[in-house]
Structure 1
């Protein structure tokens, strides 16, 4: 009797499912406290998975947003805000808005932003929605993340973070709620030999356009509301960063 054929095993394409080690493998640190730069793992070279939403889905089927000003105390409490930050907690707004994941589905995320730029943010992300631009996750950055050891594989889309500018002691525009980062892994920061996230080197090849990379159309969504792109800077390239004051 002929042997029964071995059934084929269906596997998701590489890069569509987050690896089990995501965010759990700290890198050796440099004297500056950054992680040691390492080659991009195969699972992240064409990164196109979407992490679970952290807030409830907004009603409807298309783009939607909901704004609370000032941001609720419970949201501030799980953010990086603390006394001494350069913006008052009461000057921050909590935005929930829908975005398209890499799975093509409708998701809901959240941003903390300065109350003066709420309309800008809603307009820009509405434009990204219309473009079907994919985002991996969108959530408020937690305080514990600021002191966590670097893993080099983060990809959060976020706005307010009370921290200094990279390599400086002065507050970043994020600390005022006047900047936003979009898909930081697909759009990494570079200054000299410094690469952030440290495993995102594959995405320095901007000629190989992959999902989640900021295209001229996506950059234009922010330009329409007067925000500048850090990828145009000369002393460094902050490819995931947009800010109102070009800082």
Structure 2
């Protein structure tokens, strides 16, 4: 189970994300990036953050530590921004926090080099969880103390938005053409050999167990949080075995060329 803290002060919103996360201070004297159950996307992004963040950490990838944060909506009474006020009022109770990494900077591929091995692990992991939000448009990577950190996994496992189609959707290939670490020649075969055997149902069950029950109730087609956790476990376990065979790295989107050697070598500034 994730540690639980109580929010004591709302510091500032982070407007980079569509769900309007915010920086908060808590009663353990920690500072966290908080994601809210009252955001427009609901609780599923928080479920994805927990399962994927905990899985990444167990696989040796660097992800900020996660906590459950109890929020009293009264904190929002003095907030001048009406949008933030409404979000805080709608998010009373249990929310999710990620350890704030002070002094971290956004990843820039021209300034920071990634080894083929590390790039392979990140690409393989994102293929496993079907992360659609690690492109050059929005890298969701930080550099902190000279090391690469993965953040923001709310836009993963998109099949959990429509469970009846999950087996078909989760079996689809993963297009990494615009994936940021793909420009470093990722060694996906080595990553699969290293990581896939470790993604067991037991490991996945441990990750899913960290999701609070209240974020899993009332899901159509499931009688209990336990059944829903089992569904996450089964889909990810099956995908881990062969997803490396379905990772496609090809021509990037035409609004920006890839930096990867050999990609679309005839690309010009006008996209021709």
Same fold (TM over 0.5): no
TM superposition score normalised by structure 2: 0.24
TM-score by length of 1: 0.25
More helix by percentage:
2
